[in-house]
Amino acid sequence: MKKLIIAVSTLILFACNETAKPEAETVSINLKPYPEVRKDSISDDYFGTVVNDPYRWLEDDRSSETAEWVKAQNEVTFDYLSQVPYRDQLKARLTELWNYEKVSTPFNKGKYYFYYKNDGIQNQSVLYFKEGLESKEKVLLNPNDWSADGTTALNGLSFSKDAEYMAFGVSKAGSDWLEIRIMDMNTMEMLSDTLRWVKFSGISWHKNGFYYSSYDAPKDGSEFWNKNEFHKVYYHKLGTEQSADQLIFEDQEHPERNFYAAVNEAQTLLIISGSESTSGNTLIVKELDKEGDFVTIVNDFENEQNVVSYSEGEILLFTNVNAPNNKLVKVDLKNPTKENWVDVLPEKKDYLNSVSLANDQLVASYMKDVVTALEIYERDGTFSYAIDLPGLGTAGFSGDKDTALAFYSFSSYTKPGTIYKYDMNTKESTIWYEAKTAFEGDAYETKQVFYKSKDGTKIPMFITHKKGLEMNGQNPTFLYAYGGFNISIKPYYDVKTTVFLEQGGIYAVANLRGGSEYGEEWHKAGMKGKKQNVFDDFIAAGEYLKKNNYTSTEKLAIHGRSNGGLLIGAVMTQRPDLAKVTLPGVGVLDMLRYHKFTIGWAWAGEYGDSESKESFENLYTYSPLHNVEKGTDYPATMVTTADHDDRVVPAHSFKFISELQAKGSNKNPLLIRVDVNAGHGAGKPTSKTIEEWADIWSFVLWNQGIKEFK
């Protein structure tokens, strides 16, 4: 049983008369005792090392006992948060900042242009379309009508040739499981076809049906934790039952492989990509207008590649084979082996993020020190020109291979996305849509700095704050990072951070190893046995911010989600003195058992797994759950997770907070916030996101010693 009282003095001015003196009132937060948590005597022997697992019963997230545990923990957490005096003000201001119209970059299919729009605080964005760019917009799909609480979301869509039909995915309560439904675009009526238990799938049309991927239906009660195995590719013909779908591809010898089917735009080439982790994929293709079997392009998992286009027996292939920064090559399907590949866009110093076709030209998106650069090349790889972008930020491009009309978006940490209409013949850009917000972005600035990690590696970091802010070492600071799975964290506008910036906060994003910021070598430097580099990079970022007087330990909060949740869990157990506040979000926190749930096995390529002695010994050194030490003054911590998270199952967070509460000292609150009827994050309704971040900022600012809301 633990009890914590945090007292902060605030001044209240009494306006009885002009000479009245301010009197001090003590505002305190009373932390209820943590719930008693049952401990079992379960243990595992890993190569001679016995590891106790007393909270394994919490892995059953559908048991009544776990449900009671969640209820009791949430009561403690929400009671604490309700006492933060400016929590309602934070939520109100966050709602104001969120309440602006958001529009996505348009894309063209057949005679239609499509885009997503949210009028401000709609729970889900609405899909609109126009018959021609200048015609009146119409609503095509409004997911806000699908559920009362906004937790049913649109998750992926695909159009048949000439956009006669649309197939789209529906996700409920944030789960990765999808239902696929179909609409006739001529009548705007729904077909009776409904496909269930689809997961990690595309929707790729061919003739009067489409290819998709799914698992066998799970047993009742195991939908959100059961290990996902034997992924299969099917073809569904319109107007038929799912049970009649044709099995196109499976691998009975390798249950832990996933397969993704795609068809080129002309629907003449079927592409199947196979993976057994999050890095590297096989690739086979089949020419649909010709007789013959699949042609193997890549049959190992050493590299990543995807088909950009296909024409007359040749494909343009985006790959990192012998090119850690990626390149584009031409592959003759009659001679597809790697030694016969011909470079079209050879590897450069800068990381090639993607290549697409527009106006029969190649649009190459590069990253230069994590900032987007868009370059246009002819089909043979001859450089044509670069598109001038408005500043330090991230751009996305959308075009059609047969037309000169294209669009690109641009956003930064202080400016929401602006969408430009672009003529690829005249090279002229005009603003098609510009967001208007309550956040005064011009009053803030972003700069990029480079600091040295423990081993001397130079790491980039973006720092955003109000112009003219005094660097006195006392500014509340929020440091975010991810550091894994070849994912880069680029500069973009995130409305969640703006309320913190308005309170005089500093928002910092460190681009750690493990991501793709500088190519595959940067990624590999943060994988498996080198994972400690990621934690060292992040710790060095925190120390840089303090050494350069941006902030201090008492004013520093650190945050990460998913793999970033692992990052925060590892950093807070290795360096509990680094920050005042820690926020491990939907984190991978039990590194010895993560691979036993849902899709966790696929992460072994990134982490290794405890089935081998070498990997176990590495994982055990940093697994957050297994490195909590008795009596340690851990920072003020709020773990966040969701009851329907079937990507990183909530058991990670449940077990970790139980261990923290049992072993941590009384100095700071150690809480968990469990979102109900929500998942890993995708498709979360706006209302839930605002509530979550009002709570996060309340917890952060209060524990940074912020007494009142500005």
What does each C-alpha distance from 387 to 124, 126, 270, 391, 418 come to in angstroms? 32, 30, 33, 12, 15
Q: Looking at residue 319, what is its pLDDT?
A: 97
pLDDT tens for each residue of 481-512? 999 999 999 999 999 999 999 999 999 999 99
pLDDT tens for each residue of 339-357? 999 999 999 999 999 999 9
Average pLDDT over residues 458-481: 98
Does residue 8 have a pLDDT over 90? no
| Count of residues in the chain | 710
677: confidence class by pLDDT, cuts 50, 70, 90: low
What does each C-alpha distance from 95 to 226, 306, 691, 693, 699 come to in angstroms? 37, 40, 9, 10, 18
- Name the catalytic one among 309, 411, 516, 562: 562
173: confidence class by pLDDT, cuts 50, 70, 90: confident
Per the CB < 8 A criterion, the answer to whether 325 and 520 are in contact is yes
16: confidence class by pLDDT, cuts 50, 70, 90: very low
End-to-end CA distance of the chain: 36
Residue 520 phi/psi, 5-degree rounding, is -65, -30
Average pLDDT over residues 155-174: 90
Cβ neighbours of 102 (radius 10 Å): 19
pTM, rounded to two decimals:
0.86
Average pLDDT over residues 237-265: 91
Long-range contact pairs involving 575-578 (C-beta distance under 8 Å, separation at least 24)? 575/539, 576/632, 576/633, 576/634, 576/635, 577/553, 577/633, 578/539, 578/542, 578/543, 578/553, 578/635
Q: Looking at residue 21, what is its pLDDT?
A: 38
Highest mean pLDDT among 22-26, 62-66, 520-524: 520-524
Average pLDDT over residues 233-258: 92
Pull the structure tokens for residue 269.
Answer: 């080439």
pLDDT tens for each residue of 29-69? 999 999 999 999 999 999 999 999 999 999 987 889 999 99
Task: Give one word for 614, left, alpha or beta, with left for phi > 0 and alpha for psi -120 to 50.
Answer: alpha
Residue 172 phi/psi, 5-degree rounding, is -115, 135
Residue 485 phi/psi, 5-degree rounding, is 55, 25
For the CA atoms of 677, 679, 682, 688, what is the dihedral angle to 10 degrees? 40
pLDDT tens for each residue of 594-629? 999 877 888 999 999 999 999 999 999 999 999 999
CA geometry: angle 273, 275, 276, nearest 5 deg: 165
Pull the structure tokens for residue 554.
Answer: 């008492």
| 235 Cβ contact list (under 8 Å, min separation 6) | 206, 209, 210, 211, 245, 246, 248
Q: Looking at residue 224, what is its pLDDT?
A: 62
What element of type H or E holds 552? none
Q: Looking at residue 1, what is its pLDDT?
A: 39
> DSSP H helical segments within 552-595, as ranges?
563-574
Q: 680 an active-site residue?
A: yes
Residue 225 phi/psi, 5-degree rounding, is -135, -20
**Letter for the amino acid at 432?**
W
684: confidence class by pLDDT, cuts 50, 70, 90: confident
Does residue 480 have a pLDDT over 50? yes
**Letter for the amino acid at 211?**
Y
Q: 552 an active-site residue?
A: no
Distance of alpha carbon 54 from alpha carbon 37, whole angstroms: 10
pLDDT tens for each residue of 109-119? 988 999 999 99
pLDDT tens for each residue of 61-104? 788 999 999 999 999 999 999 999 999 999 999 999 999 999 99
Burial of 662 (0-12, 13-18, 19+ CB in 10 A): middle
210: confidence class by pLDDT, cuts 50, 70, 90: very high
**DSSP-derived secondary structure letter, 404:** S
- Residue with token string 């009132």: 25
Share of the chain above pLDDT 90, in %: 79
Q: Which tops the pLDDT comparison, 16 or 555? A: 555
- Name the catalytic one among 465, 595, 652, 680: 680
Q: Looking at residue 134, what is its pLDDT?
A: 87
Cβ neighbours of 351 (radius 10 Å): 23
Q: Looking at residue 649, what is its pLDDT?
A: 85
| Secondary structure (3-state) at 67 | helix
Range with lowest mean pLDDT among 23-37, 314-328, 434-448, 622-636: 23-37
Does residue 545 have a pLDDT over 60? yes
What does each C-alpha distance from 403 to 159, 359, 537 come to in angstroms? 18, 5, 45
Distance of alpha carbon 322 from alpha carbon 304, whole angstroms: 11
Average pLDDT across the chain, whole number: 91
User: Nearest to residue 398, comparing CAs of 109, 100, 101, 102?
Assistant: 109
